[in-house]
Structure 1
Amino acid sequence: MSADELKSALNRLRRAQGQLAGVIRMIEEGRDCEDVVTQLAAVSRALDRAGFSIIATGLQQCMTSDDPQVRDSAQMRARLEKLFLSLA
C-alpha cells in the first residue's frame, strides 16, 4: 500500500472512530433512538468504505504485480473475493 493510500485509509478509519465515539456519547446522554441509529448507520458506512478502499488497493496491487504467481494465483483471487464479500 502506497503512502497516499495508507493515509487515506487511516483517515477514513479515524473518521469512523470519531463517529463511533459520538454514538457512544449519544447513548450515554440518553439521546433519541432514531438519532443514535442514524449516526450508527453512518459509522457502518464509513467502515465499509474504508474496507472497500483497502481491498481495492490489494486487488490493484495483485493485478499489476510483475510476479505472475501473484497476478494469476487462484488462491489469491479467492482470498480477495472472500475479503470483499465479507464487507457485502
Structure 2
Amino acid sequence: MNSESAGTSACHAVDPCEGPEPPHAVHRDRDAHLKRLRRIEGQVRGIHRMVEEDVYCIDVLTQVAAVTKALQALSLNLTSEHLRHCVAEAAVQAEAQGRTDLIDEKVAEATAAIGRLLR
C-alpha cells in the first residue's frame, strides 16, 4: 500500500520499520529469537506433560514461573531493539524532515507496547 492509498497517512510512507523488507531489529536477530522461542516452546510442552502426569502443583508453578521469565526476557530484548532501531531512526527522520510527529508516533507505539507488557 502506498501513501496515496485511502486511510494511509504520509507518516507511514517514511516509516523506517515498514516496507517489503522492513529493517526490523527482530529480523537481524531472528535466529537468536527463534532459538529462544524453541526453548520456551519446549518448556511449555514440559509443563503440559507435568500436568498430564499430575506432578506436584508447586513444581508445575516453578516451571510456569520459568517460562514467564523467559518470555519477559524476550519481550525486553525486543523492546530494546525497537527503541534502538525504530525509535532512533524515527528521531533521525523527524529531525531531517522537521516532523516531530514521526518521533511522537514511535514513542507512543513503544509506550503502548511497554504498557501491555506491564499489565
Q: What is the TM-score when the length of structure 2 is the normalising length?
A: 0.64
Give matches, 1:1-88, under 5 Å: 1=25, 4-65=28-89, 66-68=92-94, 73-88=103-118
Partner of residue 12, structure 2: none
Equivalent residue pairs, number? 88
- Larger displacement relative to structure 2 (74-83 or 22-31): 74-83
For residue 3 of structure 1, report the CA deviation from its aligned partner. Answer: 5.1
What is the root-mean-square deviation of aligned Cα atoms in Å?
2.1
Q: 5+ residue gaps in structure 2?
A: 1-24
Q: What is the TM-score when the length of structure 1 is the normalising length?
A: 0.84
Instruction: Please state which structure has a larger fraction of its residues in helix.
Output: 1
Q: Distance in 2 between matches of 1:82 and 1:12?
A: 24
What is the identity, as a one-letter code, of the residue corresponding to 1:76?
K
Report which of the two structures shows the higher radius of gyration computed on alpha carbons.
2
- Report 1 or 2 for greater relative contact order, CA contacts < 8 Å, sequence distance ≥ 6: 1
Identity %: 30
Which 4+ stretches in 1 moved above 6 angstroms?
A: none
